[in-house]
Amino acid sequence: MCGINSLYKIHGVVDPTDLRRMSSAIVHRGPDEAGFCIVNGGRVGLANLRLSIIDIKNGHQPMYNEDQSVALVYNGEIYDIEECRQNLIKKGHRFITRSDTEVIVHLYEEYGMDFLDKINGEFAFILWDERKKTMYAGRDRHGIKPLFYHVNSNEFVFSSEIKGILSLDRIERKISPDYVMSTCITLYSPTDTFIDGIKSIRPGHYLEISDEYGLREKCYWKPRFNTDNSISFSEAKEGVQHYLVNAVRRRMIADVPVVVYLSGGVDSTLLCGIMAKLNQKLKAFNIGFNEAIYDESGIAEETAKFYNVDFQSVHCSMEMLADSFEKNLYHNEAVIVNPHSIAKQLLSAHVHQSGYKVCITGEGGDEYFGGYPYFRLEQIWRMLLSDSDTAKKGLKFLEEFKVKEAPTEFAMWDHNDKWNQNSSFVGYHSFFANRAIGAYEMFHKILDTEALGITSAQQPGNLIRRNYDFEYLRELHPFNASRFISLNQLYTYMIPLLGDRIEMANSVEGRLPYLDRDLAAFVSKLHPKYLLQMDNLREKHVLREAFNTELPPHIRKGKKHTFLSPNWDSFLATSRGHELEEELLSVDAIKRTGIFHRKNSKYITLARKTLSPDDHTRKRVDLAIGVMLSLQMLHHLFIENKVYSNPKFNMVDRSPK
């Protein structure tokens, strides 16, 4: 894994000092070595920071083809790399390294941008084609690796992180109203970042930049849920087992040890079990909390013993979370609605300190296999709207669901009497639409909409219509439509906050088997009834059955455990949390940033102190506190203050000779 930066000058030439500044700002992504090149007569610069995982001695970047007409900087891992390499060798290509970076160069030579259809992995890249005088910048299908860009009248600027772009003082810095509303209402902003004018390349897309055409965005992949009714349940189980085992096996290939993150849920348990079969010296890491309702360390330890795996739990107190809040926001560069992102960052720090560079994690399992509580809640709603007998059964399931999922209420589901009254934006009774309406009602009151420039374009319906293909969603089974929306939130919220950013903050590479190309394609074809079994409110039915004999007894019998951490109320009760409240949510602080309405914001802090913790409004208030703290801290870190950068940062000049 690495960090990448690039400049494409419309006028003038690239100053290597800019590449040094940008690279120094994200050096945590690749502390092992740094290199850059200047091409296209000085108008294009590419830079790379390397975290050495495969071919540690030879995989230097930027990397070229034989005649140096193609230059590449690349961040990620390709898991079918040997198959690709052998196919290319048969076509006459020669290799001098074992790195996947060189394979990408030759794949592009052979297939052009169609090479993206031929690789299975997680990546971001910037490629310069000297013959075509064209730059290409793109991301993997699921957006696991980040890539941001900024365009002005003089240049195109690219970086793995927003701070890489902001290290250039000439870039204007102000809060994006589109991001604020999208994040507050839908937790989904496919292109917007908190800085107005800095965009994210969409997952499954790439940009093409040239003097002739300027910038053009192209989509090479998007999720498709085309149910194949011919697949039997037995075939579904066999397929899930086959593809998941292969996905894990691929991700264990490295020239350094690979560890696993282990929680109390079935996703990480299966990864641990599969890895234990492939590696008898496996080490598992876990996060533990003081509050029993959030702590899964006991379950995880029992799982580790079952698989005979070395286990280590990292204890996170609320004081530790509060002390690490600022660092977390600096690396995440995004709003967090729950402190669990901070806990994951503390875990990755411990993994790094323990001498490891690569971890395997379970993100994506809930989205593809329908594991979140709202999948079951929406099915219950559909039952309540059916005939009388089915509706009666739905009422019974609803009461059981409320009891079973009480710990995840509002974080992962929100039942209220309005679900059937709210007109759905997506053609069915949707948890996402219901939540968006409720969030809009609250945040529209506390945001300073006039100062931010928020208009009717940022209302829930307009935001969702702008971000989703409604016609496609209405063609899908409601379960699959929710999977589609859930995946988009995974790309834009869950992975950045629980995956790449918090791991790379500590120079750790995360690998995600549940987002393997082949596994995802197979699971997308399965009938919803294979994934959701309502008789016992069981999620991920086919996944559990596929590995039933290999799961520990306590996991086979148990319920899903959604990874959560203590709330903001507990956070603010700590010494540092209290200081942050004074620093970020005081009247003067609110006035200075101009993000929140000064008068209405007072009601949020008052409600936090007066309402019962069990009150539904109080739970919404807790989310609002997290959003307010995050936006205020982001403003402090990146708008009120400059990003640290070093114009003399040490890099190897690998420009063509």
Degrees (nearest 5) of the Cα angle 206, 211, 216?
A: 25
- Residue 2 is among the residues annotated as catalytic for this protein: yes
State the Cα–Cα distance between residues 377 and 370, nearest whole angstrom. 11
> Where do the DSSP E strands lie in 90-204?
121-129, 134-139, 148-151, 155-159, 198-200
Tokens of 359: 């971890």
CB 634 within 8 A of CB 161: no
Tokens of 130: 């000297």
Neighbours of 231 (CB within 10 A): 16
> Where do the DSSP E strands lie in 343-417?
358-360
Q: Which parts of 490-594 fold into alpha helices (H)?
A: 495-498, 500-504, 517-523, 528-531, 541-546, 553-557, 568-572, 575-585, 587-593
Helix axes 266-278, 233-251, angle to 10 degrees: 60
State the Cα–Cα distance between residues 358 and 352, nearest whole angstrom. 9
CB 379 within 8 A of CB 483: no
Nearest to 75 by CA among 434, 490, 640, 503: 503
Catalytic residue among 2, 272, 316, 359: 2
Residue with tokens 């890895």: 275
| Backbone dihedral angles phi then psi of residue 129, each to the nearest 5 degrees | -110, 105
State the Cα–Cα distance between residues 46 and 61, nearest whole angstrom. 9
String of DSSP letters for 274-295: HHHHH-TT-EEEEEEESSTTT-
Kindly tell me the burial class for residue 320, based on how many C-beta atoms sit within 10 Å of its own C-beta (0-12, 13-18, 19 or more).
Answer: middle
Q: 237-265: string of b/e by CB count within 10 Å (b at 16+)?
A: bebbbebbbbbbebbbeeeeebbbbbbbb
State the Cα–Cα distance between residues 129 and 77, nearest whole angstrom. 22
Strand partners, 596: 447
CB 262 within 8 A of CB 282: no
State the Cα–Cα distance between residues 166 and 176, nearest whole angstrom. 14
User: What would the 3-class secondary structure string for 495-515 be?
Assistant: HHHHCHHHHHCCCCEEECHHH
Q: Rounded to whole angstroms, what are the CA distances from 30 to 94, 389, 503, 509?
A: 27, 60, 12, 10
Nearest to 85 by CA among 55, 48, 51: 55
Tokens of 260: 């696993």
3-state SS class at 410: coil
Q: Which parts of 594-640 fold into alpha helices (H)?
A: 598-610, 616-638
Catalytic residues: 2
